[in-house]
Amino acid sequence: MTIENLSSQKSFGGWHKQYSHVSERLGCAMRFAIYLPPQASSGQKVPVLYWLSGLTCTDENFMQKAGAHRMAAELGVAIVAPDTSPRGDDVADDDGYDLGQGAGFYVNATEPPWNRHYQMYDYVLNELPALIESVFPVSDRRSLAGHSMGGHGALVLALRNPERFRSVSAFSPISHPVNCPWGRKAFSAYLGPDETVWQSYDASLLMRDAKHPVPALVDQGEADNFLDEQLKPEALEAAAEASGYPLELRRHEGYDHSYYFIASFIDEHLRFHARHLNH
C-alpha cells in the first residue's frame, strides 16, 4: 500500500495534505485530502471525520470552502475527504454531471460498464479507512458527514454499519434517492432496473428499520433549489419518527445548497461529532 504525497499546507497549526494512491477495490488511482489537527503532530492518535462531497466535487471543495479546519484544530479531529468517484481515462463516464465521474453515489455498481470501477461504498467503508489508519496518527474512532450526494452516502454508510461509526451528519442530503430524479437515474445505471436492490442505498428506507442507531444530525436550507424535487428531507423525518431514530433535522430559513450554507453550520457539526468521537 503505497501512497504519494501531492501537497502539504499548514493550516490553523495543523496540516492539509493531498495524496494519491492506487485503490484495489476501485481499480484506479485515487486522490484524497486529509486535515491533520495540531494534536496529531504531538504523538496523539486523533479520531477521524470522513467527509463525503456532492456531485461534481473532488477532494478539494470541502477543504477549500467549508472553513472547517479552525474548529477541527480546536477539537483535535482529523478530516478525510475522498474523491466522489473513480477517475481516469479508462473509467466509464457519462456526459451528465450527475452520472459517472464525479457522481459515484457511494454505491457498489453491479451493472456494466459501471461495475468495473464504481465501488465507492466499499472504498469508503473499508479500503480508505484501513489505509488512513495504517499511515496517519489516527485512531479507529470514525464519524461520517457529507453534502447532498455525499449526505446520502454518509447516512447510508452509517445506517448500514453502525458498528463502524460513532455519529453521522449531513447537509442537504439526497434523503430518499429511490424517489427522486438524481437517485433514480444513478441507481438505474449503477444497480439496474430491479428497484428492490436500490432499497439498501436509501437513507429513508434504511432509517425505518434501523436496529442500532448512530446519532444523526441533518441541516437543510429552506432556499435550496433542490429541496422539493431531489432532497426530500420530509421522508427522512417521517422514517425517524416511525422508528424512533435519534435524528435531529433542522431547517434554516434563507440558506441555499452552497458551501456558504455548509460553512455557516460546520462548526456545530464538528462539535456534534467530537462529542461522540471523544465519548
Active-site residues, by number, are 148, 224, 257
CB atoms within 10 A of CB 70: 14
Q: Which is nearer to a copy of itself, 244 or 254 (CB)?
A: 254
User: Considering all CA atoms of the chain, what is the largest pairwise distance in Å, rounded to the nearest integer?
Assistant: 52
Selected binder of a copy of itself within 147, 259, 274, 277 (CB under 8 A):
259
- How far apart are CB 183 and a copy of itself at their closest, in Å? 25
CA distances from 39 to 32, 36, 74, 265, 267 (A): 21, 8, 9, 23, 18
Nearest CA to 231 out of 173, 178, 155, 185 is that of: 173
Q: How far apart are CA 186 and CA 248, in angstroms?
A: 27
Number of residues that bind a copy of itself (CB under 8 A): 23
Task: Verify binding: residue 261, a copy of itself, rule CB under 8 A.
Answer: yes
Instruction: Enumerate residues 110-129 that contact a copy of itself by CB under 8 A.
Output: none
Radius of gyration over every alpha carbon of the chain, rounded to an integer in angstroms:
17
| β-pair partners for 220 | 251
Selected binder of a copy of itself within 74, 213, 258, 271 (CB under 8 A):
258
Task: Verify binding: residue 268, a copy of itself, rule CB under 8 A.
Answer: no
Task: Verify binding: residue 187, a copy of itself, rule CB under 8 A.
Answer: no
Instruction: Enumerate residues 208-247 that contact a copy of itself by CB under 8 A.
Output: 221, 223
Instruction: Enumerate residues 67-96 that contact a copy of itself by CB under 8 A.
Output: 67, 69-70
Give the cell for residue 173: 442530503
Q: What is the DSSP letter of 108?
A: B
Task: Verify binding: residue 263, a copy of itself, rule CB under 8 A.
Answer: yes
What does the H/E/C string look like for 178-189?
Answer: HHCHHHHHHHHH
3-state secondary structure (DSSP) of residue 5: strand
Stretch that binds a copy of itself, among 7-15, 116-124, 131-139, 153-161 (CB under 8 A): 7-15
Q: Binding residues for a copy of itself, per CB under 8 A?
A: 9-13, 16, 64-65, 67, 69-70, 221, 223, 254-256, 258-261, 263-264, 267
